[in-house]
């Protein structure tokens, strides 16, 4: 049986290489290619995708948001995150988004094909070294709301813009940021953003 695959990757050369590699496999057919997170759900629906290979860093919706959307609206579609962000915190976020597989972009071609087959068969396929690292790392001390505020701040928004986007008062945003800096033992907001990014929490 041929596995119908969607590839979501915004870098044209990388996407082309992935598609070319997958087309060498007799039991895998690439039925859709997209370059942004906003296109994934509609493309998966139209092409009757069975496995969606999704990069995390996509324009529009990020890959994990798109994967969550697929899980909720097209539960029959299996998701395989393919990323260069090999951080334990990123894996934790991916598993929380109910993805079926997580693989690093520098994995050998046969590992990718096997991950697609495993995910299609209903198995969870996670890079072994990364899974061990995630097991050993500290869980994110921030609440989902604090993560939202920090992510919006990391995008370069000022307190007023964060407040408007998150439907909070400016005073509440400032309080959240003070709490975040304290929880992460950071020197300031910029340091808190750095710590959260390096840990894969945002």
Give, in order, the Cα–Cα distances in Å from 183 to each of 73, 84, 132, 155: 35, 27, 25, 20
**SS3 label, residue 78:** strand
Tokens of 186: 């950071």
pLDDT in tens, 152-162: 999 999 999 99
- In the predicted model, is pLDDT for residue 87 greater than 70? no
Give the per-residue pLDDT at 134.
55
Segment (H or E) for 82: strand 78-83
Number of other residues whose CB lies within 10 A of the CB of residue 123: 13
Domain boundaries, the chain: 3-135, 144-198
CATH class belonging to 144-198:
mainly alpha
d(CA 23, CA 30): 7
- In the predicted model, is pLDDT for residue 196 greater than 80? yes
- Per DSSP, the residues of 152-177 read HHHTT--HHHHHHHHT--HHHHHHHH
pLDDT in tens, 4-55: 999 999 999 999 999 999 999 999 999 999 999 999 999 999 999 999 999 9
The superfamily in CATH containing domain 3-135 is: Response regulator (3.40.50.2300)
Confidence bin at 80 (pLDDT 50/70/90): very high
Give, in order, the Cα–Cα distances in Å from 86 to each of 5, 32, 132, 190: 23, 26, 12, 22
Tokens of 157: 């928004």
Confidence bin at 82 (pLDDT 50/70/90): confident
- In the predicted model, is pLDDT for residue 135 greater than 60? no
């Amino acid at each position: 049986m041929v596995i119908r695959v969607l590839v979501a990757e915004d870098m044209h050369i990388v996407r082309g290489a992935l598609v070319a590699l997958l087309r060498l496999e007799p039991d895998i057919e690439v039925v859709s290619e997209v370059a942004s997170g906003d296109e994934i759900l509609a493309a998966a629906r139209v092409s009757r995708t069975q496995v969606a290979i999704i990069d995390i860093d996509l324009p529009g919706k990020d890959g994990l948001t798109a994967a969550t959307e697929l899980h909720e609206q097209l539960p029959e579609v299996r998701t395989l995150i393919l990323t260069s962000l090999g951080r334990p915190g990123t894996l934790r976020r991916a598993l929380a988004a109910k993805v079926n597989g997580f693989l690093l972009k520098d994995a050998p071609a046969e590992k990718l094909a096997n991950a697609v087959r495993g995910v299609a068969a209903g198995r969870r396929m996670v890079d072994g070294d990364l899974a061990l690292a995630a097991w050993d790392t500290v869980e994110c001390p921030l609440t989902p709301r604090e993560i939202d505020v920090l992510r919006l701040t990391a995008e370069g928004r000022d307190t007023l813009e964060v407040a408007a986007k998150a439907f909070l008062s400016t005073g509440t945003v400032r309080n959240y940021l003070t709490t975040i800096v304290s929880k992460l033992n950071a020197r300031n907001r910029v340091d808190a953003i750095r710590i959260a990014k390096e840990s894969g929490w945002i």
